[in-house]
A and B are shown apart, each in its own frame.
Chain A
Amino acid sequence: MIELSGISKVYGIDRLVHALRRIDLKVGAGEYVALMGPSGSGKSTLMNIIGCLDRPTAGTYLLEGGTVSTMDDDQLAQVRNRMAGFVFQTFNLLARQTAERNVELPLIYRGVPGPERQRLAMEVLERVGLTEWAMHQPNQLSGGQQQRVAIARALVGRPRFLLADEPTGNLDSRSGQEVMVLFEELNREGMAVMLVTHDERIAHHAGRIIKLLDGRVVSDELNPAPLDATAELERIREQAHTAASAGAGTAAAGMADPPGMADTRGGPV
């Protein structure tokens, strides 16, 4: 599905920064891949190129047999619209628009008529378990709920793959784990998922872990025993439960943040 060969990305004019150096990478349909590496390793750049947000300086990128690396901005926009679903660390939902309107967004740019858009949006909102929150605006939703709206938005256009950049970075551990359960389920249904993270434990949910350093792939290994996201969530819930029943005053730490108390680092655009 995704086929990168000799991909390089160089930034800057006077002082050149080599973000990516001759990357070769293939990702098949239905794979669950984690991209790891310290900051500056080039993982975000690679992700942007795979997601067609950016063009490589050199090399060829074949997506479903089409050469993406030579497309112009508008062609890239259309490829993004049809092929990729993005999930961001900061959710990037539109404020003053309902969850349902936010989810519709990719379909608007595809020219899908209104009633059909609403039907599809409600369908994916149901899939992420937010049917009754559809008419709420982002500031009325918890961080975990906002991220699930964002996932619904990524899914609504039936893309070929999901790209998630630190999707749990702004969430508490339980909401984060709920998101991981969702990814796992979607992957089981056949959706290719690519995660960018620096969190080892999050990365270990994936079936394949790719590590980058200084713009090069330093390891690309299959994960023989991926973490079971559902079991992990169960474990976190239990921990919270015991902490709460032990009467510790900090019980809230492990619980999903309630609506209206969204994390200030993320939030509506």
Chain B
Amino acid sequence: MSLIEAMRVAAAAVISNKMRTFLTTLGVVIGVASVIALVSVSNGASAMITGQIEALGTNMLVITPVNARVTLTLEDAQSLDSRVPALSAVAPAMSFRGTAKWGINSYETSIEGVAPSHVEVRNYEVVEGRFISAADVDQMRRIAVIGHTVLGELFKGRQALGQQLTINGQQFTVVGVLAEKGQAMGTNPDDVVFIPVTAAQRLAGTTRLTVIYARLSSGDLATETVAQIRRIFDRKFGRADQVRVQSQDELLGAVDTATRTLSLMLGGIAGISLLVGGIGIMNIMLVSVTERTREIGLRKAVGARRRDILTQFLIEALFISIGGGIIGIFLGSLLATVIARFGGWSSAVSADSIMLSFFFAGAVGVGFGMYPAMKASRLDPIASLRYE
């Protein structure tokens, strides 16, 4: 029997039982759709996080206390600046969540107390007014530079420069507006109000810093510089490992490990659902073989060989699984797009995951269709013809 003939017969069988075929296909559809959607979600999320880390700026070091008992201060930032020549800029920051009010508008955002170097270290750009100056920090001036999102949310696009806004009950004058940096995932770099770090500390009633950003003059010096920074803090605290010094590479590595685990986990879950779909196919194919025992007997009587019968049922299983695979790819892509819109990252349905799930669906069809097809091909024609 030619392949085309076998496909014709299989197609007729698949079509003749529409509801059953649909339900069986659904297993594969859900499996493939979840592979596509989940892999895309994990890829999209990891691309977004990676993008954010890269947006921190190149050759960036991030110094954070390991726990709440460890205190980083402005003096630490100053001593790093003067004692570590490999650092081109040091940007201390003290940030907290706070509510900014303007008139009757109120908006909860990230309040970050920073130094003048911040604009350079974090790659911000001022479009209106100016950024925080050294004098602002020294004199604890109550001025603010607002991010693009805050401009929209609080001032609704009106002139913000020179306006007074209230942060946690204190009045601040807007002296600068930042250019839009673009939505990165999770944390939006435009959803921020910068104030002088000293003013932030006073507002929060503390002398702590939450983080010190430092920029390396050259990436080659990363290892020695990190070691030097560690030594400075080890000496200060009298014990080792009180601060975490992370380079951008390290952060990327950590994110990479985390997202790879996430991908594997999501892929595993999706794979299991595809497996369940495969079991569904096997089940329905066994039913189909039993139902059509007499047909198989007749086909054998008129000259069908084992492999003719095998091909016929294998193609039937493949129709269900590959059909399900194709529908699943469309559904999964749609799902990935919708989720990406909510998650705020660009939907990335990779050709890889489409190919992978397509072939996986085919493999499921062959794998789970093989046993029923073998069973059919081995039926004894005489017994099959008598089967009631």
Partner of B305, one of A77, A92, A153, A269: A77
Decide yes or no whether A80 CB sits under 8 A from chain B.
Answer: yes
Which residues from B are CB-within-8-Å of A108?
Answer: 1, 5
Shortest beta-carbon distance from A117 to chain B in Å: 10
Q: How far is the CA of A108 from the CA of B299 in the complex (A)?
A: 10
Q: CB < 8 Å: which of A86, A96, A105, A106 contacts B16?
A: A96
Instruction: Tell me the complex Cα distance, A153–B299, Å.
Output: 12
Provide the A105-132 mask, 1 if CB < 8 A to any CB of B, else 0.
1101111000000000000000000000
User: Which positions 343-388 of chain B face chain A at CB distance < 8 Å?
Assistant: 381-382, 385
CB pair B304–A77 under 8 Å, yes or no, is: yes
- The docked-state distance in angstroms from the alpha carbon of A94 to that of B304 is 14
Contacting pair B382 A105 (CB below 8 A): no
Instruction: Contact check, A74 vs B292: say whether CB atoms are below 8 A apart.
Output: no
Tell me which of B292, B295, B303, B308 has the highest count of chain A C-beta atoms within 10 A of its own C-beta.
B303
A-B residue pair count with CB separations less than 8 angstroms? 63
- Residue interface bits B296-319, CB-to-A below 8 A is 1, else 0: 011111111111100000000000
A32 proximal to B (CB < 8 A): no
* Total interface residues in chain A, CB < 8 Å: 26
**Interface status of B127 (Cβ within 8 A of chain A):** no
Chain B residues positioned under 8 Å from A51 (CB to CB): 301
Report yes or no: A106 in contact with B385, Cβ–Cβ below 8 A. no
The answer to whether residues A269 and B301 also contact, given A54-B382, A74-B306, A109-B308 and a CB cut-off of 8 A, is: no
- By a CB distance below 8 angstroms, the chain B residues around A86 are 301-302
Q: Known contacts being A88-B385, A92-B294, A94-B295, is A78 close to B302, with CB within 8 Å? A: no
Residues A106 and B382 in contact, CB atoms below 8 Å apart: no
A269 to B297, CA, bound (A): 10
Question: B2 in the interface, Cβ–Cβ < 8 Å?
Answer: yes
A73 to B382 alpha-carbon distance, docked (Å): 13
**A269–B292 CB distance below 8 A:** yes
Whether, in the assembled complex, A48 has its beta carbon less than 8 Å from a beta carbon of chain B, the answer is: yes
Inside 8 A of A223's CB, which chain B residues have their CB? none
B165 to chain A, nearest CB (A): 76
A80 touches B301 (CB 8 A): yes
* Interchain CB contact (< 8 A) of A109 among B294, B305, B382: B305
- B381 cross-chain contacts in A, Cβ below 8 A: 53
Known contacts A105-B299, A106-B302, A110-B303; A96 and B12 CB within 8 A of each other: yes
CA distance A153 to B298 in the complex (A): 11
**Given A96, A109, A269, which contacts B304 in the complex, CB threshold below 8 Å?**
A109
Measured in the bound complex, the distance between the Cα atoms of B9 and A109 in whole Å is 12
Q: How far is the CB of A265 from chain B (nearest CB, A)?
A: 11
- Which residue of chain A is the closest to B304 with respect to CB atoms? A109
Q: Please tell me if the beta carbons of B382 and A48 are within 8 angstroms of each other in the complex.
A: yes
Closest to A94 in B: B295
CB distance from B384 to the nearest CB of A (A): 10
Contacts of B16 in A (CB 8 A): 96
| In the complex, chain B residues whose CB is within 8 Å of the CB of A173 | none
Would A97 and B303 be within 8 Å (CB), given that A109-B1, A269-B298 are in contact? no
**List of A residues within 8 angstroms of B385 by Cβ:** 88, 92
Chain A residue numbers with a CB within 8 Å of B1 are: 108-109, 111
- Flag whether A142 is at the interface (Cβ < 8 A): no
List of B residues within 8 angstroms of A153 by Cβ: 302
Instruction: Specify which chain B residues have a CB less than 8 angstroms from the CB of A97 in the assembled complex.
Output: 12
Please report the C-alpha to C-alpha distance between residue A80 and residue B299 in the assembled complex, in whole angstroms: 11
Q: A88-B385, A108-B1, A269-B292 are in contact. Are A80 and B303 (CB under 8 A)?
A: yes
- Contact in complex: A74, B294 (CB < 8 Å): no
Q: Chain B nearest CB: distance from A91 CB in Å?
A: 10
Q: Which residues of B contact A48 (CB under 8 A)?
A: 382
Assembly CA distance A54 to B301 (angstroms): 10
A68 to B385 CA separation, bound complex (whole angstroms): 21
B305 contacts across to A, CB distance below 8 A: 73-74, 77-78, 109
Chain B residues, CB < 8 A from A81: 302-303
- CA of A94 to CA of B292, assembled, Å: 10
Q: Shortest CB–CB separation between residue A88 and chain B, in angstroms?
A: 7
Q: Which 8 pairs show the lowest CB-CB distances between chains A and B? A: A81-B303, A109-B303, A269-B294, A106-B302, A74-B305, A269-B295, A77-B305, A92-B298
Residues in A lying within 8 Å of B, measured CB to CB: 48, 51, 53-54, 73-74, 77-78, 80-82, 86, 88, 92, 94, 96-97, 105-106, 108-111, 153, 157, 269
Question: What are 21 A-to-B residue pairs whose CB atoms are below 8 Å?
Answer: A51-B301, A53-B301, A54-B382, A73-B305, A73-B306, A78-B305, A81-B303, A82-B303, A88-B385, A92-B294, A96-B12, A96-B16, A97-B12, A105-B298, A106-B302, A109-B299, A109-B303, A109-B308, A111-B1, A157-B303, A269-B292
Known: A82-B303, A96-B16. 7 other contacts (CB 8 A): A53-B382, A54-B382, A77-B304, A80-B300, A108-B1, A153-B302, A269-B292
